[in-house]
Structure 1
Amino acid sequence: MNRKKKIKQILKQKAKKANDKLNPKRKPRYVSKAERARQEQQVEDQ
């Protein structure tokens, strides 16, 4: 029983990863506070 469960779990994981690659992420990438400040500084300098 454990062997069947393990195989099923691995196949399920692979299917999930393949599905995630096909569907792009909807929310934007996280930008830290320091990084936002750096970008703002660059805009002001230009």
Structure 2
Amino acid sequence: MTKGRNTTLEERIEIVKYCLEHNRNYIETAEKYQVSYQQVRSWVIKYD
């Protein structure tokens, strides 16, 4: 599992948009941006 890192609001928005554009592929998004799966999922749920 990838260890999370600190992100800015702008990075989080970019990550969420990428995830949504790729059919909510949380694993791919987490690996690409080096954040945890759970964090990506949480941000997407909040954004949605």
When the two structures are superposed, what TM-score results if normalisation uses the length of structure 2?
Answer: 0.33
Larger RCO (CA within 8 A; separation ≥ 6): 2
When the two structures are superposed, what TM-score results if normalisation uses the length of structure 1?
Answer: 0.35
Larger radius of gyration: 1
